[in-house]
C-alpha cells in the first residue's frame, strides 16, 4: 500500500456532521455528513440536479473473492462477467483479491503486483473466513436454506436473480465530480428509505473499483506449461474503501422517506512508484455505494457510476 493511498483513506475516517433541511418532501430534515466545504457541496448539488435520476429498482451486489495465484478463479471471473452482461446496471460486481496464499505478490513473474487493499482485504477475509478460492457473496445474503453468506460461483446466478426479485426498500444516488489535473474526486451519495425500517441500523459503504487491469493470473484450464498468464484482464478490481471496510453507521430505525446525504473527497493515486498497482486510470474507475444491515451484513441496496 503506498503512502498516498493510506493517508487519503485515513483522512476519510472522520466526517464532520452538518444539518440540512428539506421541508418539501421529507417529514424530517435530511441528515448530512460531509468532509467537503460548503462550496464543494453546492457544486455537487448543482451537478446532481443536471443529471437524470437513476431508476428506482432493486440492485444486487456481487463480490468475486479471487486471487492471481488461484488457478480456478478465472472460471468464477467468467461467471461474474456473464452475469454483469446479463443484468447491466442492476448488478454491481466487485473483484476482491483475498488471502496471502492466493493474492500476495510473488518474487517471480507474473505475480509481482499486489491487488489487495491493505486492511480492507484482510478484514473481508477474516469476516467471511476465506481460505479456499474461488468464492463469492451476493448482497451478502445466504441462498436457500444455507446460513452461509459465502457462495460457490455456480450459485451466483440464482442468488442474483433472487435478490433482484425483491422490491426496493431503499434508493441510492451517486454524483461524482473529478478533476483530471489534481486527481481529486468529490462525491455526493444521496439515500432515501422508502419504507420504515424499525429495529434496524444501516451502514453506508463506498468503494472505488478499477476495470481492465492487465496482469498475471494462474489458469488451470490452460494446458500444462501455459497456465501462468501475463495478460489476464482483471475486471472491477476493488481499489479503495472510502468509508471503511464495512461502511459507517448512517441510519437507526429510519422512517418512511427519511433521507441522507454524504459528501466526501478522495485523491486518486497518480505517482508511479509501482505503476501497475498505484497509478490509476481514471477512465476505468467506478464509484460503488451500498447500504448494508448493520446486524446481518446484508447489502440491501447498491449503485455504481463511472468516474468519467
Domains of the chain, first to last: 3-50+59-306 (3.40.30.10)
Distance separating alpha carbons of residues 242 and 14, to the nearest angstrom: 11
What pLDDT sits at residue 8?
A: 40
Q: What tens-digit pLDDT sequence spans the chain (308 residues)?
A: 444 333 343 333 333 333 333 333 445 678 999 999 999 999 999 999 999 999 999 999 999 999 999 999 999 999 999 999 999 999 999 999 999 999 999 999 999 999 999 999 999 999 999 999 999 999 999 999 999 999 999 999 999 999 999 999 999 999 999 999 999 999 999 999 999 999 999 999 999 999 999 999 999 999 999 999 999 999 999 999 999 999 999 999 999 999 999 999 999 987 554 455 557 899 999 999 999 999 999 999 999 999 99
Q: What is the predicted pLDDT for the residue at 130?
A: 97
Report pLDDT for 11.
Answer: 36
What's the pLDDT score for residue 1?
A: 42
Res 44: pLDDT? 98
| pLDDT given for residue 278 in this prediction | 58
Distance CA 233, CA 266 (A): 26
Amino acid at each position: 500500500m503506498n503512502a498516498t493511498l493510506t493517508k487519503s483513506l485515513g483522512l476519510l475516517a472522520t466526517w464532520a456532521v452538518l444539518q440540512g433541511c428539506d421541508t418539501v418532501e421529507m417529514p424530517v430534515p435530511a441528515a448530512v455528513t460531509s468532509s467537503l466545504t460548503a462550496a464543494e457541496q453546492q457544486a455537487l448539488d448543482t451537478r446532481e440536479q443536471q443529471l437524470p435520476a437513476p431508476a428506482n429498482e432493486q440492485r444486487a451486489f456481487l463480490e468475486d473473492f479471487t486471487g492471481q495465484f488461484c488457478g480456478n478463479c478465472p472460471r468464477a471471473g467468467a461467471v461474474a462477467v456473464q452475469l454483469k452482461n446479463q443484468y447491466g446496471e442492476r448488478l454491481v460486481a466487485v473483484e476482491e483479491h483475498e488471502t496471502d496464499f492466493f493474492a500476495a505478490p510473488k518474487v517471480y513473474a507474473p505475480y509481482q503486483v499486489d491487488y489487495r487493499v491493505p486492511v480492507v482485504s484482510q478484514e473481508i477475509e477474516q469476516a467471511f473466513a476465506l481460505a479456499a478460492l474461488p468464492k463469492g457473496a451476493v448482497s451478502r445474503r445466504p441462498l436457500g436454506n444455507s446460513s452461509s453468506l459465502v457462495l460457490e460461483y455456480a450459485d451466483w446466478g440464482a442468488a442474483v436473480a433472487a435478490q433482484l426479485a425483491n422490491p426496493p426498500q431503499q434508493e441510492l444516488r451517486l454524483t461524482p465530480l473529478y478533476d483530471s489535473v489534481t486527481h481529486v474526486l468529490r462525491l455526493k451519495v444521496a439515500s432515501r428509505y422508502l419504507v420504515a425500517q424499525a429495529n434496524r441500523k444501516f451502514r453506508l459503504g463506498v468503494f472505488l473499483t478499477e476495470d481492465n487491469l492487465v496482469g498475471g493470473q494462474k489458469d488451470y484450464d490452460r494446458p500444462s506449461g501455459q497456465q501462468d498468464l501475463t495478460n489476464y484482464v482483471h475486471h472491477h478490481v476493488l481499489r479503495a474503501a472510502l468509508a471503511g471496510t464495512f461502511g459507517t453507521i448512517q441510519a437507526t430505525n429510519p422512517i418512511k422517506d427519511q433521507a441522507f446525504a454524504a459528501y466526501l473527497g478522495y485523491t486518486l493515486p497518480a505517482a508511479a512508484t509501482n505503476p501497475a498497482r498505484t497509478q490509476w486510470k481514471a477512465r476505468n474507475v467506478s464509484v460503488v455505494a451500498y447500504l448494508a444491515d448493520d446486524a446481518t451484513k446484508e447489502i440491501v441496496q447498491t449503485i455504481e457510476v463511472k468516474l468519467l
